[in-house]
């Protein structure tokens, strides 16, 4: 009970049964949850999750909690602010200014000098699309297949992941135009020219749209394809896309909700890693460490275009508590060197899994960088047939060994590795060993 922070731990079997039944009944069939037989998690600490039986799991999937679970500095600062004031951002208070300045201090370029706080990634993407529309006067948007950008109507419109919506590719509204995911491992273009080849497709589409008198107002994508399992676009892709889109007067939206905030290790932003200064950046998840906070980072003149249409207000966006949460997270990422930890510990996992691939033919590729990795499992290295069932089995067996990992991508054959950035090297090595053992069973 003291470990879980509960006065009295309920009977684990009965409590879990109740939690599942009530949750499934109250939320309904569309709600996603992990595992057919999920543990009941009631406590977190660092990169660990602890269930009601007192068992600790290494949390390898929770990119929402970048600074880790129950971070004491975060908890104290948020609790202190909750005891002082929480209200909406129409009032003047210092926390709002402090968060905006702190986020701007991480801006990848002086041109991105304006912040609008919101309360989720979906809201940030929705706002980014609105900003692009009002700034360019254009409705049409180019989006990338196999992506997920959120659930609000506009964010959903540019989301095409067949896993989240099997009919996505055929049911986009007329203003959304799709290009292939720039995946040089299993996509149509591979090899050293893949980046240029994928970018040419975007340029061709942009030109066609202009010829049809509906030029694209924006191109939106994740700078590292998180939803596809951490696939890094081939070299030169985003820069070439930006050149083509901007030549026609469109804006580049970099959705950094999953991959930004230091997770990639070598850069704070995914777009920086790709050599791109976007026009609009969206953040969430890590920005609030599971507290509802997102933000849009952009240029002043783009926000000014929104002001011509009216005012912008989101009740829970940038409240004193969420602003304090956002500032605390950026402080902790910097003070504890979490971006550097992501680079170091991520390398331990990537190198370890690449070494395993010599013994385990199921491993087809290790995507990503830092602590956003995707371990792609395939049945055949030539056909790249996705090992979907094997991936599900690996996840179940890893759970038994105390590691929480989930499969990602359209094909559900990529093991996502996106833990809190506080993951230790020791736990990283233990994970590689556990994966070795589990692959031995599944092979």
Ligand X SMILES: Cc1ncc(COP(=O)(O)O)c(C=O)c1O
Residues engaged in binding ligand X (CB under 6 A): 120-122, 125, 148-150, 222, 226, 255, 257-258, 284
Beta strands across the sheet bearing 280-283: 114-118, 294-298, 280-283, 251-255, 218-221, 141-144, 176-179
**Shortest distance, position 147 Cβ to ligand X, whole Å:** 7
Residues 6+ apart with CB under 8 A from 116: 127, 295, 296, 298, 303, 312, 317, 318
Which of 67, 64, 63, 58 minimizes the C-alpha distance to 39?
58
**Shortest distance, position 267 Cβ to ligand X, whole Å:** 17
Shorter beta-carbon distance to ligand X: residue 286 or 330 = 286
**Shortest distance, position 335 Cβ to ligand X, whole Å:** 25
**Shortest distance, position 206 Cβ to ligand X, whole Å:** 22
Place of tokens 């050149």: 243
Shorter beta-carbon distance to ligand X: residue 42 or 222 = 222
**Shortest distance, position 119 Cβ to ligand X, whole Å:** 8
Strands 294-298 and 114-118: antiparallel
Shorter beta-carbon distance to ligand X: residue 123 or 390 = 123
Shorter beta-carbon distance to ligand X: residue 122 or 339 = 122
Longest dimension (CA), the chain: 68
Rounded to 5 degrees, φ, ψ at 50 are -125, 130
One-character DSSP codes across 165-209: -TTGGG---TTEEEE----TTTSS--STTHHHHHHHHHHHHHHHH
- 8 Å CB contact between 207 and 213: no
**Shortest distance, position 315 Cβ to ligand X, whole Å:** 16
Shorter beta-carbon distance to ligand X: residue 150 or 215 = 150
Q: Distances in Å between the alpha carbon of 187 and those of 161, 184, 224, 228? A: 15, 6, 15, 11
**Shortest distance, position 287 Cβ to ligand X, whole Å:** 9
């Amino acid at each position: 009970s003291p470990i879980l922070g509960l006065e009295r731990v309920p009977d684990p079997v009965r409590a879990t049964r109740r939690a599942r039944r009530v949750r499934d009944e109250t939320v309904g069939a569309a709600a996603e949850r992990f595992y057919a037989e999920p543990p009941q998690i009631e406590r977190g600490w660092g990169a660990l999750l602890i269930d009601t039986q007192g068992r600790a799991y290494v949390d390898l999937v929770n990119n929402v909690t970048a600074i880790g679970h129950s971070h004491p500095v975060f908890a104290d600062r948020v609790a202190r602010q909750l005891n002082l004031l929480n209200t909406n951002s129409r009032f003047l208070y210092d926390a709002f200014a402090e968060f905006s300045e702190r986020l701007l201090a991480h801006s990848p370029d002086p041109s991105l000098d304006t912040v609008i706080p919101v309360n989720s990634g979906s809201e940030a993407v929705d706002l980014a699309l609105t900003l692009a529309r009002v700034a360019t006067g254009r409705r049409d948007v180019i989006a990338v297949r196999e992506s997920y950008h959120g659930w609000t109507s506009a964010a959903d419109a540019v989301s095409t992941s067949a896993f989240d919506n099997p009919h996505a590719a055929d049911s986009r509204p007329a203003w959304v135009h799709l290009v292939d995911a720039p995946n040089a491992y299993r996509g149509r273009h591979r090899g050293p020219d893949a980046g240029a080849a994928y970018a040419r497709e975007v340029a061709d589409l942009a030109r066609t749209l202009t010829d049809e008198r509906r030029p694209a107002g924006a191109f939106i994508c994740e700078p590292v394809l998180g939803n596809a399992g951490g696939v890094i676009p081939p070299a030169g892709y985003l820069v070439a896309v930006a050149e083509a889109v901007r030549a026609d007067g469109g804006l580049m939206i970099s959705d950094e909700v999953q991959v930004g905030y230091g997770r990639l290790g070598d850069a704070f932003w995914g777009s920086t890693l790709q050599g791109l200064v976007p026009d609009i950046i969206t953040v969430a998840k890590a920005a609030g460490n599971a507290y509802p906070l997102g933000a849009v980072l952009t240029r002043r003149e783009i926000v000014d275009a929104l002001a011509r249409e009216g005012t912008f207000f989101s009740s829970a966006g940038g409240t004193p508590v969420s602003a304090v949460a956002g500032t605390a997270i950026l402080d902790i990422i910097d003070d504890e060197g979490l971006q550097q930890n992501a680079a170091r510990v991520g390398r331990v996992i990537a190198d370890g899994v690449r070494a395993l691939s010599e013994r385990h033919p199921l491993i087809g590729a290790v995507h990503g960088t830092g602590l956003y990795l995707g371990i792609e499992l395939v049945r055949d290295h030539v056909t790249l047939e996705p090992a979907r069932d094997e991936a599900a089995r690996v996840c179940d067996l890893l759970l038994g060994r105390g590691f929480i990992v989930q499969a990602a991508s359209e094909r559900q054959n990529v093991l996502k590795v996106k833990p809190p950035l506080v993951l230790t090297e020791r736990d990283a090595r233990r994970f590689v060993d556990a994966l070795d053992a589990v692959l031995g069973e599944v092979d």
